[in-house]
Structure 1
């Protein structure tokens, strides 16, 4: 009896995809078993990776090779494993302040070393040779900076190759001539999936290799792998995937690697509500990268239609940390209804391991096409300017913070000023000579004011954080206030 070849191919492909679906579900469920617990925050340093790399060196599965040095002399290591015939190259933290995938790479190493998933690991490692540079810009990572010590963006150095980090990346790519390259980045948390209020938690791109954005087999295969990864992420962050702009950038590594013959898969880790340190996004990187390696190993990605890539929504940038809608603002005796868009910018503390917030009013007016991680409809509420008071007025009151805010005080005068730029109090601290600026809403100001309804102050906005005055402050999410001297 002859079996229809098309039907047989369909059945086999269906079986493979079902097996992969089970694999990815188990990856997600068991992530904590493999998570590298020494890496718990974004501001990781080169020194934190060295003991992990030393541990890997002792495992016979891995080969660790020094392939270059950063400008300040930190080693750039290539970590390789697998015995297959298809080379896959993954590099992370080309930008020093984009470490989410770096953490995920060490989770992947733990997955490889540990017990479990023997069949899937055998499939991957027998078909592929994997090569990782987990931190391409260690000097930038040291100060949590996008650029390297030379002050250039390594990802715009693919042609001139003035940075040693860029030269190393080019040298490794040329020596491996990998079929696929994973270019691992972070993007702003303010990107959203186009026409939706959902953050672009993960964004993908198969970079163009010319201005015409043509699709050859190399780029097309990268698109197919991305479509597969998108299908995975949709299960865990539905609607939170974007497609990065594919305008050809002739100086960029991703675009040039595609031109040089490597199918590039750009992954950009964006924002996720309640995940400022990107630990959930790290998990999504781990799951999607391992899933992609599995589909590359068994070549099931080849059955995916390119139209699936085009269905991924484009990236947009229309998110604020806090959006206040329809609030009434009085100016020169007249009332206006505005929307306010507030972003909570991070300012690094000394050592670049911690940060504080210095928020800014990013935009105002009609923001009906924008969204917020947090949105408050302030229809019927009126903006009230903050006042300054001295500590003596409230020092004897045990509910000092709440009473200060309910009385409309956003600034507290102190005789002895803390030696810092921020304070973990729900109001700003100022010295005795500080004059509170005349209140005027305009983009660029620090958003500190009150909301009034029916003659009562109901909410405080302190350094861009919205606080309800009828609820205990200790139960509300608040970052910090500022110190003005």
Structure 2
């Protein structure tokens, strides 16, 4: 009898799992129907989401409440839907420059408002009550920075509660006494899944609630849901999931929310090759969060072995935007074999609505345990500092008529332009621009320097690196974004 019961439970579990798998696939395939088109850039501000929130006020299924204000008086909203006994609380953009899940939340609203997936939504909204706080730190979002207007990290304010934003989060968590909490963040794109070259596109954590890292029922539930979500992400970004270190941080909200009795699930959106605005990662958030809520609704997550949580690779931070391996570098008459790692910083415009890139060398030496989004095996290649083209080009229009690839093949990574707007810093062509009478910036293969050089082998220049972007001169291919104007 016991065997038969176990078999029946196994069959039911398989059936529900298959149903969720089908739902996940359908969500992924039909995502474009629900993607909120007005939120297509990471640098979005408070006033951009307000019309979307106001639209929800007109829909009877939703309860929309202003639950407080930021330091600078921007409203913070809580949006609720569902009639179920299980309460799920999702908050995003605690850090102002971490908006990927905020975008996904509005995609989720579009999904819930659609006529699709009726049976699944009936289960979801009859079993759960979902509470969304899309932008906890609107002042930080306004200038695309991590901290709030007080200059503190809200995620380290769970004990002192000096920030109004932290006070709001604590008050709402307590008033809801939520069963599950989704703490939604972005992480650096330079995290990788441990001991692999793959970026940690999504990373998870079921935060510890004490220094001993004990696992009680509350934390155990979070771990099981994370295992479920990991299995989903593996289908679309195989090997690209990491697990955060679970050392207890007594000041952090996630750790304390776990301690206060809500099963806390931290989701961090990392990097995905050629996805600067994190739109593919946004899609993965949409699919995995909805699927996770569905498994919470039907309770299927309870059958997941908690031991599988530890099988998720740990987060590591050993990725570069570009890694050049084993090139030959001459110093004081002697040849050395080196690796260098190059990353790009985003330099914001004055309105914090757009940015350009500045490359820099961030590491040098033996980087054999590191990886790159792009990697060049430069064995046998000599690194040669980029030169300045000898003629002065009258204008940018004239430069655009020139064969830039031929210039790079000749070792030139800089040109002088007589008439170039001094207010511009980014250059769309793959070559740096100097003023007519400006000297070339000195370049050495040292940490912190802006990398502009070519790689030469057997007399042929096959690769150029301009502002840290690799240009394959043989294939004429690159992921080039911008060069730099070195104006006075």
TM-score (norm 2): 0.96
Q: Return the offset for 1:391.
A: 4.5
State the secondary structure of the residue aligned to 2:419: coil
State the secondary structure of the residue aligned to 1:135: coil
Measured in 2, the distance between the counterparts of 1:379 and 1:104 equals 43
Structure 2 residue aligned with 1:246: 246
Measured in 2, the distance between the counterparts of 1:238 and 1:123 equals 29
Structure 2 residue aligned with 1:117: 117
Q: Return the offset for 1:287.
A: 0.5
Q: Does 1:354 align with 2:354?
A: yes
Q: CA deviation digits over 1:356-377, x for unaligned, max 9? A: 0001111111111111111111
Structure 1 residue aligned with 2:466: 462
Q: Is the 8 A contact 2:98 2:186 kept in 1?
A: yes
Q: Is the 8 A contact 1:83 1:125 kept in 2?
A: yes
Instruction: Mark the runs of 5 or more structure 2 residues left unpaired by the alignment.
Output: none
Structure 1 residue aligned with 2:315: 315
Q: Is the 8 A contact 2:393 2:415 kept in 1?
A: no
Q: Is the 8 A contact 1:319 1:370 kept in 2?
A: yes
Please point out which of 434, 441, 445 is paired with 2:449: 445
Q: Does 1:147 align with 2:151?
A: no
Measured in 2, the distance between the counterparts of 1:109 and 1:261 equals 27
Q: Is the 8 A contact 1:45 1:141 kept in 2?
A: yes
Q: Return the offset for 1:82.
A: 0.6
Q: Is the 8 A contact 2:43 2:141 kept in 1?
A: yes
Q: Return the offset for 1:413.
A: 1.8
Name which of structure 1's ranges 223-232 and 409-418 shifts more when overlaid on structure 2.
409-418
Q: CA deviation digits over 1:317-362, x for unaligned, max 9? A: 0111111111111111000111111111111112111110001111
Q: Does 1:68 align with 2:68?
A: yes
Measured in 1, the distance between the counterparts of 2:336 and 2:480 equals 28
State the secondary structure of the residue aligned to 2:321: strand
CA 1:109/1:382 → structure 2, altered by over 3 Å: closer, same or farther? same
Structure 1 residue aligned with 2:90: 90
Q: Return the offset for 1:390.
A: 4.9
State the secondary structure of the residue aligned to 1:55: helix
Measured in 1, the distance between the counterparts of 2:350 and 2:441 equals 28
Q: Return the offset for 1:470.
A: 3.6
Structure 1 residue aligned with 2:210: 210
Measured in 1, the distance between the counterparts of 2:472 and 2:25 equals 40
State the secondary structure of the residue aligned to 1:375: strand
Measured in 1, the distance between the counterparts of 2:199 and 2:443 equals 32
Q: Return the offset for 1:403.
A: 3.3
Q: Return the offset for 1:467.
A: 1.2
Measured in 2, the distance between the counterparts of 1:403 and 1:96 equals 43
Q: Is the 8 A contact 2:91 2:133 kept in 1?
A: yes
Structure 2 residue aligned with 1:286: 286
State the secondary structure of the residue aligned to 1:321: strand
Q: CA deviation digits over 1:440-484, x for unaligned, max 9? A: 211110111111111222221100011123444xx5431111111
Please point out which of 470, 481, 486 is paired with 1:479: 481
Q: Is the 8 A contact 2:416 2:433 kept in 1?
A: yes
Name which of structure 1's ranges 380-389 and 84-93 shifts more when overlaid on structure 2.
380-389
State the secondary structure of the residue aligned to 1:429: strand
Measured in 1, the distance between the counterparts of 2:187 and 2:2 equals 53
Measured in 2, the distance between the counterparts of 1:146 and 1:393 equals 42
Q: Return the offset for 1:436.
A: 2.4
Q: Does 1:402 align with 2:405?
A: yes
TM-score (norm 1): 0.97
Q: CA deviation digits over 1:85-125, x for unaligned, max 9? A: 11110000000110000010001001111011111111111
Measured in 2, the distance between the counterparts of 1:327 and 1:371 equals 16
State the secondary structure of the residue aligned to 2:36: coil
Structure 1 residue aligned with 2:58: 58
Measured in 2, the distance between the counterparts of 1:423 and 1:84 equals 54
Q: Does 1:232 align with 2:232?
A: yes
Structure 2 residue aligned with 1:269: 269
Please point out which of 395, 412, 415 is paired with 2:415: 412
CA 1:367/1:394 → structure 2, altered by over 3 Å: closer, same or farther? farther
Name which of structure 1's ranges 76-85 and 395-404 shifts more when overlaid on structure 2.
395-404
Q: Is the 8 A contact 2:451 2:466 kept in 1?
A: yes
Instruction: Mark the runs of 5 or more structure 1 residues left unpaired by the alignment.
Output: none
Q: CA deviation digits over 1:203-251, x for unaligned, max 9? A: 0000000111110000000000000111111111110000011111111
Q: CA deviation digits over 1:405-462, x for unaligned, max 9? A: 2232222223333222221121211224433244321111011111111122222110
Q: Is the 8 A contact 1:394 1:404 kept in 2?
A: no
Q: Is the 8 A contact 1:272 1:278 kept in 2?
A: yes
Structure 1 residue aligned with 2:435: 431
State the secondary structure of the residue aligned to 2:379: coil
State the secondary structure of the residue aligned to 2:25: helix
Q: Is the 8 A contact 1:394 1:400 kept in 2?
A: no
CA 1:259/1:2 → structure 2, altered by over 3 Å: closer, same or farther? closer
State the secondary structure of the residue aligned to 1:415: strand
Q: Is the 8 A contact 2:193 2:240 kept in 1?
A: yes
Measured in 2, the distance between the counterparts of 1:60 and 1:462 equals 55
Q: Is the 8 A contact 2:469 2:478 kept in 1?
A: no
Structure 1 residue aligned with 2:100: 100
Measured in 2, the distance between the counterparts of 1:389 and 1:280 equals 40
Q: Is the 8 A contact 2:318 2:371 kept in 1?
A: yes
Q: Return the offset for 1:73.
A: 0.7
CA 1:88/1:425 → structure 2, altered by over 3 Å: closer, same or farther? same
Measured in 1, the distance between the counterparts of 2:23 and 2:441 equals 58
